[in-house]
Chain A
Amino acid sequence: MDMTGAQEQRMLEGPGFLTRIVQIREAGIVVAFVALCLYFWWQRPDIFLNPANLAVIMRFIATFGLLAIGQVLVIITGGIDLSVGSMTALTGVLFATLMMKGVWGLPPLGIAPSAIIVLIVAGLVGAWHGFCVTKLHIPPFIITLGTWLMARGLAAFITQGYPIVFPSNHPFLWFGQGEIARIPIMFIVLVVVATVVFFLLNSTTLGRHIYAVGGNIEAARVSGIKVNRVRIFCFVVSSLMAGIVGLLLASRLGQGTPTVGTAYELWAIAATVIGGTSLFGGEGTVQGAILGAAIMGVMVNGMVLINLSSYLQDVVLGAVLVIAVTYDTWRRRRQLGQVRRK
């Protein structure tokens, strides 16, 4: 049976434009995000769109967006990284020590060498996670839970519990506190990193292999994909993100402190899940993770602006998480049913 020209055309084009808009998993999240912004703007027209307030929101989005980007890669491949909150503390403290005190009798280093060393250490921690998961077959949950404890403990040990404070005029503070055209540097870092990872995930063979590993690891293996390398790569990126956030938070706070980033890994995971990532692996996007972080950022900020009890704020956030996942599950099942019926 020969196909008509129109049929052939359709085969290449796939679903129609409108259908695709509805199918885009982020569409619902964008609508929710815009609705939230409009609501808080309506409630507090005096403050919400204030540049200073927007900067607060953007720094929040940057912090959790960056962590969520790393988390998304790990979760797509079927893993999880619980270490990132503690890793922000360890990397921040390590950076402050290298730059302010020096280690092993070495003199204090400059900003760039200290930052590079810290990021290398973070990358090595990620490689360690990947090694344990792929070669020693330790579940990602367990090995990163170990680091979750160890990194926090090490951070406290290095500083003996006290923060290492930077001088108030230190140039390093620009990264966390500076702005360009009223946009925080932290947010610009997020945009750059997100663009790179988005490109990687959507346009390169590595990105495709990341999804393939999450979708069917055996299929990926027999297709000749270096499955272990792909998984290790994702853990390295996640730890690197924690390192970057560690540096930015140290700069933002003006100190390296061992208590920073407590429970941030759970916030990052929540952001990815709100953004449509499946904890079963195989599904997840950079833009979704950032949108998830954005929704949380606007809500945390807005709830303070409208004077909601801080106890209730957590209740609302938890509810949002559950609603988001329920909606996404429902949407996917419906979509699956529609295609099957065709």
Chain B
Amino acid sequence: MTATTETTPIVEMRNIKKSFGAVQALRGVDLTLMHNEVLGLVGDNAAGKSTLMKVLSGAYIPDEGEIYLEGKRVHITGPDDARRLGIEMVYQDFMLANNLDVAANIFLGREMVRWALGPIRVMDKRAMEFQSQQLLRRLNINVSSVRLKVEHLSGGQRQAVAIGRATAFNAKVIIMDEPTAALSVSAINQVLDLIRELKAQGASIIIISHRLEDIHEVGDRVVVLRHGRKVADYPVTGDMQTFRERVVSYMVGARDDFSKVAVEED
């Protein structure tokens, strides 16, 4: 890796604006993600964090603003675009097909093809199973068999498979929407371990979470949104108690590091 790629942010979003009718969901948000960084994105309900990530993952097209990937301007017009650029999203409710096995889910929508005749594309199941197994092993994900149907997995295992799927295709950026929201305590720890593992292997990750403990545990930096604006952006430091108090003060509007921008906006 050259020096330039390490100093250029892997993702840079500039002045992103998005409205739904009269509601301004995003009022000009800047967001950067560095290489091999875990960024926590927090904010109260309707602060705009999910909208911002949906802009990045192609689900929404912004009204204004630019997105740069490794310094290059990109135009993301749909989820397919985002994926092609190496931006993967892990959804809150896993988005797995429970009736299919682990390997099938990891390769869902991008099956390996042995041979094709027009629209008839014959899958290479063996190769997919083998690669799925390699992937799970690399990420230390504990699933007894890649041929197990997802309906037979625990919540933590499902989230692990969902995250594994997002990393399977050399993703540059992984966005996780509330990765621990639906999980038990032990499963949460599994998922946090997995995020640490991904970081150790060089991934760049954005985590949306209501659980500030998660951000404190695995995050390098935290960005707080409030009413569609960025109000804080600083490294994660200190103990949980002070971290929580500081983040909450931004979330409820008691503090605002970017208020000058807001005055200009209004």
- Chain A interface (Cβ < 8 Å from any Cβ of B): 1, 3, 8, 10-15, 200, 203-206, 208-209, 211-212, 214-216, 218-220, 222-225, 282-283, 336, 339-340, 342
Among B89, B108, B145, the most chain A Cβ lie within 10 Å of the Cβ of B108
Contact A216 to B95, CB < 8 A, known contacts A204-B121, A339-B148: yes
* Any A CB within 8 A of the CB of B147: yes
Closest chain-B Cβ to A103's Cβ sits at a distance in Å of 32
- Contact across chains for A222 and B89 when beta carbons are under 8 A apart: yes
| CB atoms of A216 and B96 under 8 A apart | yes
**Smallest Cβ distance from B158 to chain A, in angstroms?**
11
Note all chain A residues with C-beta closer than 8 A to B108: 208, 212, 219-220, 223, 225
Task: Tell me the complex Cα distance, A283–B100, Å.
Answer: 10
Residue of B97, B99, B109 ringed by the most chain A CB atoms within 10 A: B97
Contact of A208 among B120, B123, B130, B140 (CB under 8 A): B123
Residue of A nearest to B142 (CB): A1
* A15 and B147 contact, Cβ closer than 8 Å, known pairs A212-B108, A225-B109: yes
Partner of A12, one of B80, B104, B129: B129
| CB neighbours of B91 from chain A (8 A) | 222
Q: Is the CB of B120 within 8 A of A282?
A: no
- Known contacts A8-B133, A220-B108, A224-B109; is-contact A13 B145 (Cβ 8 Å): yes
A282/B98 in contact, CB under 8 A? yes
What residue in chain B is nearest A339 (Cβ atoms)?
B152
Q: Which of B96, B113, B148, B151 contacts A14 (CB 8 A)?
A: B148
Q: Per a CB cutoff under 8 Å, which of A11, A212, A220, A283 touches B144?
A: A11
Q: When the two chains form their complex, are residues A206 and B121 in contact, meaning their CB atoms are under 8 A apart?
A: yes
B113 near A211 (CB under 8 angstroms)? Answer: no
What secondary structure prevails in chain A residues at the interface with B? helix
B215 within 8 A of A: no
Complexed CA–CA distance, A308 and B148 (Å)? 45
A203-B104 contact given A216-B96, A219-B95, CB 8 Å threshold: no
Cβ of B199 within 8 Å of any chain A Cβ, yes or no, is no
Distance between A175 CB and nearest chain B CB, rounded to angstroms:
26
Report Cα–Cα, A214/B96, bound state, in Å: 12
29 A-B pairs whose Cβ atoms sit less than 8 Å apart in the complex = A3-B137, A11-B143, A11-B144, A11-B145, A12-B130, A12-B145, A12-B146, A14-B145, A200-B120, A204-B121, A205-B123, A206-B120, A208-B100, A208-B108, A208-B111, A208-B123, A211-B97, A212-B97, A215-B100, A216-B97, A216-B98, A218-B95, A220-B97, A220-B108, A220-B109, A222-B89, A224-B110, A340-B152, A342-B144
Q: Say whether, besides A10-B145, A11-B133, A12-B133, A205 and B111 are in contact (CB < 8 Å).
A: yes
Q: Is B21 an interface residue (CB 8 A)?
A: no
Residues of B near A13 (CB, < 8 A) are 145, 147
Count of chain B residues with a beta carbon within 8 Å of a chain A beta carbon: 38
With the chains together, A209 CA to B120 CA distance in Å?
12
Residue numbers in A under 8 Å from B104 (CB-CB): 208, 211-212
Does B74 lie at the interface of the complex (its beta carbon under 8 Å from any beta carbon of A)?
A: no
Distance between A219 CB and nearest chain B CB, rounded to angstroms: 4
Residue in A10, A208, A224 with the greatest tally of chain B CB atoms within 10 Å: A208
A134 CA / B136 CA spacing, docked (Å): 36
Query: Is B252's beta carbon under 8 Å from chain A?
Result: no
Q: Known contacts A212-B108, A216-B97; decide if A224 and B123 are in contact (CB<8 Å).
A: no
CA distance A283 to B143 in the complex (A): 23
In the bound complex, residues from chain A placing their C-beta under 8 Å from that of B145 are: 10-15
A3 to B110, CA, bound (A): 28
Is the CB of B119 closer than 8 A to any CB of chain A? yes
**Closest A-chain residue to B137, C-beta based?**
A3
Other than the known A14-B147, A200-B120, A224-B110, what 12 A-B pairs have Cβ atoms closer than 8 Å?
A: A3-B137, A11-B144, A12-B146, A14-B145, A206-B120, A208-B108, A208-B111, A211-B97, A212-B104, A215-B99, A216-B98, A219-B94
* CB proximity of A331 to chain B, nearest CB, Å: 14
What separation, in Å, do the CA atoms of A218 and B95 have in the docked complex? 7
The residues of B that contact A223 with a CB separation of less than 8 Å are: 95, 108-110
Least distance between A230 CB and chain B CB atoms (Å): 11
Measured CB to CB, the nearest residue on chain B to A20 is: B147
A209 to B98, CA, bound (A): 13
Minimum CB–CB distance from A143 to chain B (whole Å) comes to 25
Enumerate chain B residues within 8 angstroms of A205, measured Cβ to Cβ.
111, 113, 121, 123
Cross-chain contact B80 with A224 (CB below 8 angstroms): yes
B99 CB contacts on chain A under 8 angstroms: 211, 214-215, 282-283
User: Do A282 and B146 touch across chains, with their CB atoms under 8 A apart?
Assistant: no
A281's nearest neighbour on chain B, judged by CB, is B99
Q: Does B89 contact A10, Cβ atoms closer than 8 Å?
A: no
Other-chain residue from A11, A14, A212 in contact with B100 (beta carbon distance below 8 A): A212
B79 at the interface (CB under 8 A from A): yes
Q: How far is the CB of B94 from chain A (nearest CB, A)?
A: 8
Give every chain B residue within 8 A of A215 (Cβ-Cβ): 97-100
Pick the contact of A219 from B97, B113, B121, B129 — CB < 8 Å? B97
Q: Could you mark each residue 5-26 of chain B with 1 if its beta carbon is under 8 Å from any beta carbon of chain A, else 0?
A: 0000000000000000000000
**Which residues of chain A are near B122, meaning CB under 8 Å?**
203-204
State the Cβ distance, A125 to closest chain B Cβ, in Å: 21
